[in-house]
Amino acid sequence: MAETEQKKGEGLSRGLKERHIQLIAIGGAIGVGLFLGSAKAIRTAGPALMLSYLLGGVVIFLIMRALGELALYKPVSGSFSAYAREFVAPWAGFVTGWTYWFLWVVTGMAEITAVGLYTKYWFPDIPQWIPALIALIAIYIINLIAVNVYGEVEFWFALIKVVTILALIGIGLLIITTGWGNQGRPLGLSNLWAHRGFFPQGISGILLSLQMVMFSFLGTELIGVTAGEAKDPEETLPSAIDKVLWRILIFYIGALFVIMALFPWNEVTARVSPFVLTFEKIGIPGAAGIINFVVLTAALSSCNSGVFSTGRMMLTLSRSHQAPALFGRLNRRNVPAWGLTASALVLLIGVLLNYVIPKKAFIYITSISTVGALWTWSIIIYAHLQYRKSVKAGRLPESHYKFPGGAWLNWTILLFLAAVLILLGFDPETRVGLIVGPIWFAIVLTAYGMLRRKER
């Protein structure tokens, strides 16, 4: 029944192959949070940051398992909004859809601004808004052509990030075990506890680093967004989700282990990428340029995924009469062109902000995005909880791809996400998320109330 409904209801092209889904999943799990945010997170928690990523990684994996069970029950594009509407309430579908759209638009503004900044590394005289605008236009065109073009571009973006991290880990382990390229600096496992211990900032360091840790995982849920356009979702989605945890263990914890074994955590500064430090340690010429290119592709990848997901979310909202009907139309290539265009036009604000973005823009924007992500992940878990209740009552079919735990685990995850939200208030730089978040939710709830009055 669910599959028939999906085939009739959306008309999207199933052009995403298994390798696309796999690399989109990897790319979603490796973003600018690792390349840009890891330095600040290391300063916040020290070597114990690895425990923060392990804890956050396990939680994200469980959320993806819950999403996978829902996605196989009903593989639709813009899945979070559809599941919230069906298993929570119509207002929850409206709020979730527009909140996910909002968080990716906000993140996209940061990414195209970052593209302008990174380009100035090679072309310092070029106005910053020009590469930002070019990047936005290019990504818009890529998404407008066909879903398999998006998948192909994201495949190569993700591959660049994966190769870079694997190179970091491989080179780092070589230096640690052989001393090759070392310039007389202390290195090795002792760096993980020799500087005020493994927990130099105490338990508070682990807790305060969770904001950046969870932001780093923003994008893993794109697996659910791709469900409506995946070939053979019964096979590709479980395969991609099951690999999320070990990817986190290798790419995040592996990279952080190498970085903090090579450099005492208190020598890492937010001004220099830990990746640059590692490549420079063995004297690779142009290390800063290499990493600048990688971070540039990471920003393009994130913006690419953002435009993709916002277009699909507006399609879902339109099809459920919670957005203008125009956004529910597909072009000749079965792409939601009007939703993509509207999202791209809003993202133009990011081009204008290139002149006025403050120095704290990155941490402010990540805090706002984290609030939106926490809401989305919470809705996935709660919707899954309600789905399992319907299955037990015999109202819905049971999925063969089951969540590895009972209702108690759903509630434990919800408590963890609530704790991360509360922790945003303990850091002045992340507190802005708790200010902007309620304002945004007040706006969308008011809009929903107006929509309901108009319908009546």
Give the pLDDT confidence score for residue 378 in this predicted structure. 95
Identify the pLDDT of residue 3.
41
* Sequence-ordered list of residues with C-beta below 8 angstroms from that of 300, at least 6 positions apart, any chain: 111, 115, 135, 139, 157
- Rounded Cα distance between 13 and 33, Å, is 31
Contact 9, 76 (CB under 8 A): yes
Token digits of residue 74: 């009903």
Tens-digit pLDDT profile for residues 210-227: 887 887 787 777 776 665
- pTM across the whole model: 0.82
Q: Set out the domains of the chain in order of their start, with CATH numbers.
A: 14-451 (1.20.1740.10)
**What local confidence, expressed as pLDDT, does residue 4 receive?**
40
**What DSSP letter does each residue of 210-229 carry, written as one string?**
HHHHHHHTTTTTHHHHGGGG
- 367-413 pLDDT tens trace: 777 888 899 999 999 999 999 999 998 888 888 888 888 899 999 99
Q: Could you report the per-residue pLDDT of 10-36, keeping only the tens digit for each?
A: 555 555 555 556 666 666 556 666 666
Query: 135 CB contacts (<8 Å, ≥6 apart)?
Result: 112, 115, 116, 300, 303
Average pLDDT over residues 95-111: 83
Residue type, 319: R
1 pLDDT above the threshold of 80: no
